[in-house]
Structure 1
Amino acid sequence: MDLIQKYNIPAPRYTSYPTVPFWNNKPGWEAALAQSSTEPLSLYIHLPFCERLCTYCSCNKYITVNHDHEAPYIDAVLKEWALYLQRFPTRPQLQELHLGGGTPTFFSPQNLRYLLETILQSCDVLPGAAFAFEGHPNNTTYEHLQTLYELGFRRVSLGIQDFDLAVQTIINRIQPYENVEQVVREARELGYTSINFDLIYGLPLQTPQSIKATIEKVMRLYPDRISFYSYAHVPWVKGNGQRLFTERDLPKPAVKRGLYELGCAMMKEHYYEEIGMDHFALPDDELYLAQQNGTLHRNFMGYTIHRTSRLLGLGMSAISDHGAAYTQNEKSLTGYQQALEEGRLPVMRAHVQSREDLYLGRHIRELMCNFETACTPSPAVIKHLQEPLRDGLVVVQPGRVAVTEKGKPYIRNICMAFDAYLWENSPNTQVFSGAI
């Protein structure tokens, strides 16, 4: 209880370093793009439309039931892709493709085929490339699954969150177990080799009983991977549906941590192994094997087996990693489409990384992936590790910093000790969710 109270402070999730609030917007990201332009490419396509607002969600999305938005948005994404192709000196070598949202399966199978075939015709797909998409169980049809399978997709991630009806109602995401079961069955029949479930703990009205019942239903379907995310309560984000319930509906920090430990214990009873932060996989899964051999990687798409210095994000609000610089696209649909109508890349902000950024970012990433990193910490890092050291959350040895088993729930806090931007410039307002 004391540790939970002490460390439940706003903390980044570290999908990048520095984190977005500290980007410097200095010129020069185009040079980083040019330097990385021959590296193997990981491609993320943001498909932002959702028919309903899920009140737990803080993602960049556009709520509409008007499917006439599909074709103009696809045209805009393809214009953006064409602008990048003009900047690449060689044909892209594609090693990873991910469709995220929003709800990618908002789009019709026919429109998804047109989008993806157009992009894939201008790439060389590398052996072992990983293609994945996020699907909503209520609108992922057999035709969606078949179309994407024919295009090379073998991974599907289904947003479950919770199976309890009371929880589903307050977060405005009601999806019967039978719908999930049908999508899983059809995906496996078609030949998908990896199915992931997204679950969230700490949602409003969740209890140990509801988490237990949810995990029991998950185990009936036995997905290859499970993402068990901490609910990020950030109601100050503009347009966020999290204002539709109050903090009184949320489990207290100690209860929330108990929900995680209960779910974790149940998954381990069914042979799932913990991967980095928030992720679990079966022992024969590529993520687990990558963690065992030290090749696990983390980027804006989450954990992956593919290490790359080039991650290109297409679409509204999408973020790119150009190796030594980050960029983010316009966050509004109109701003994104207008930029492309004017024939320019829709970049709204950027960060060019310094040598210190690259150095500290590498060690944060290693901690997030492997719970240890090979380095001799600077005096500044040691200073900010004093509390975790006293509490037994981390050990510092010559040339090595390692998170203890006790410290794994506090990995975000430990990574903060390496975050020079937080030392020097704490934000004036809360921009990160609580660490616990």
Structure 2
Amino acid sequence: MHNSLINKYNIAGPRYTSYPTVPYWDDASFSLKLWKASLKKSFDESNSKEGISLYIHLPFCESLCTFCGCNKRITKQHNVESPYINAVLKEWYLYLELLNEKPIIKELHLGGGTPTFFSPENLTTLIKGILRTSKLTENYEFSFEGHPNNTTKAHLQALYDVGFRRVSYGVQDYNETVQKAIHRIQPFENVKQATIMAREVGYTSVGHDIIFGLPFQTIAHVEQTILKTKELLPDRLAFYSYAHVPWIKGNGQRGFCDADLPSAELKRQQYELGKRLLAEVGYHEIGMDHFALQTDSLYQSMQMGKLHRNFMGYTASKTQAMIGLGVSSISDSWYGFSQNVKGIEEYYNLLKDNIIPVFRGHILNEEDLIIRKHILNLMCQFKTSWTSNSLYFNELPDVLVKLKEMEADGLLHIASNEINVTKKGQPFVRNICMAFDLLLQRKQPNTQLFSMTV
């Protein structure tokens, strides 16, 4: 890839797990009442047809990884587990009262933090509490994020017994210098053992997360990590750029100097090398930053044009409604977004008063919904069109003018009523989506809100 293109398009931009992006949510006109109405509307429309998705945020970690941008609470005290699980179930019961009909669950994902901080018994209590009050779709998918250092066979078995078949392990990088810088020491042997154990228990999809652009990381480190990954052949991979956003995450991402980070050019070389090595062993690129073997549901979903993207990243199937439980979780009704409070004590206090613990959100207007569809199409299918009037919007001619330069650079093709992203343009899909982002166009931020696109 030409360095001139990298230099030209390496600007701060959203990852588009939602539109509008969180900094552009209209909190002023948002209310819990409006959020409840938007979720109820969505649920009534879609529950019987496709079911819902559930995301549960489990925030506790025993130590801080300095690359991490997630909401977490660092503690070694495991007596925090039961009160938190009781609170999450209380939040779920408040949603059940609102929905007034048994939810049919299609997807359930445990994220964090470190879900495997919790004991197998407590995780079982949590999932059984949810399953007792809901139904499951025929092809439901339960997944969780496991830490290779503390995911035990008991964790894997307990979650398998309540329906989990997919686990994703955070690998990041196998080099010791890089691991020390990000405070995440986990030898290859630990990842190997956790991967083998999952397969022995019966998990049908094991994923690894690998990050490039980490402090002190070289081309050789990325190559070594991917060659080791090839030994284990996980079913799917997230291979993505480290999002350096210390202004948002406070001291957690200040465990190293900015000068220790690879340049944009080196990051792109790391990405290109990684992509080539993964392709050689049979991985297919899925959307942006994701790779899967042909046997994995993510690849099959892409082939069928059913790939979806939400706050959890790419998913193999779509649900119109996604409920987020736990501190900082984000919910999506399609017509609106809401985010829970981030403090654990505040979360507990609101639930004590029988209040769904939402503190901000956004209700989408007609324009938002149209732009959202275009951005989803671009992120999931690398193309979008406006053949139907429902996808046309007044500023579209201006957007196409903005994209002309990208077309001249070979990143996309513009036809009479559609856009197709080229192979060359796929790494720049975030930049292409930014041309559609009317809220970003109208109000450029004064300070940096997003990580760099490269």
TM-score bracket, normalised by the shorter chain, equals: over 0.9
Measured after TM superposition, the shift of residue 205 of structure 1 is 0.7
**Residue of structure 1 in register with 2:105 after alignment:** 94
Deviation at 1:37, TM superposition (A): 2.2
Q: What is residue 13 of structure 1 aligned with on the other side?
A: 15
1:390 aligns with 2:390: no
Matched, 1:84 2:95: yes
The residue number in structure 2 matching 1:268 is: 279
Contact (CA 8 Å) 2:244, 2:253: kept in 1 or not?
A: yes
Q: Partners in 1 of 2:140 and 2:20 — Cα distance?
A: 28
The Cα shift of 1:184 comes to: 1.0
1:284 equivalenced with 2:286 (yes/no): no
Task: Give the paired residue count.
Answer: 436
Normalising by structure 1, we get a TM-score of 0.98
CA offsets 1:392-436 (integer angstroms, 9 cap, x no match): 211110221111111111110000011011011112211100000
Aligned counterpart, 2:219: 208
Whether contact under 8 Å (2:301, 2:317) holds in the other structure is no
| 8 Å contact kept, 2:69–2:249 | no
Pairing 1:288-303 to 2, within 5 Å after superposition? 288-303=299-314
- Which residue number corresponds to residue 24 of structure 1? 26
Q: How far apart are the structure 2 equivalents of 1:341 and 1:414? A: 45
5 Å-filtered alignment, 1:240-389, equals 240-375=251-386, 378-389=396-407
For residue 33 of structure 1, the aligned residue among 36, 39, 45 is 39
Structure 1 position 237 matched with structure 2 position 248: yes
Q: Which runs of 4+ in 1 moved over 4 A?
A: none
* Amino acid paired to 2:398: A
Residue identity matched to 2:92:
W
For residue 203 of structure 2, give the secondary structure of its aligned residue in structure 1.
coil
Aligned residue type for 1:379: P
* Alignment match, 2:447: 429
Percent of pairs with identical residues: 54
Tell me the C-alpha RMSD between the 2 structures.
1.1
One-letter code of the match for 2:70? C
Task: List per-residue Cα deviations over 1:312-367 (Å, max 9, x = no partner).
Answer: 00000000001200000001212212211221011010100011111110110111
Q: Deviation at 1:288?
A: 1.1
**Structure 2: tracts of 5 or more residues without a match:** none
Code of the residue aligned with 1:115 in structure 2: it is: L
Q: 2:231 aligns with which of 192, 201, 220?
A: 220
The change in CA–CA distance for 1:43 and 1:398 in structure 2 (over 3 A counts) is same
1:386: Cα distance to partner? 2.8
Q: 1:127 to 1:240 in 2, by over 3 A?
A: farther
After alignment, is 98-107 or 393-402 more displaced?
393-402
SS at match of 2:294: coil
Aligned to 2:427: 409
Q: TM-score, normalised by structure 2?
A: 0.94
Q: Spell out the pairing of 1:164-183 with structure 2 (5 A cutoff).
A: 164-183=175-194
Specify every segment of 5 or more residues in structure 1 that has no aligned partner in the other structure, as ranges: none
How far off its partner does 1:240 sit?
A: 4.0
Q: Distance in 2 between matches of 1:84 and 1:427?
A: 35
Per-residue displacement from partner, 1:89-135 (whole Å, max 9, x unpaired)? 21000000000001000000011011110111101011110000000
Counterpart in 1 of 2:159? Answer: 148
Tell me if structure 2 keeps the 8 A contact 1:37–1:89. Answer: no
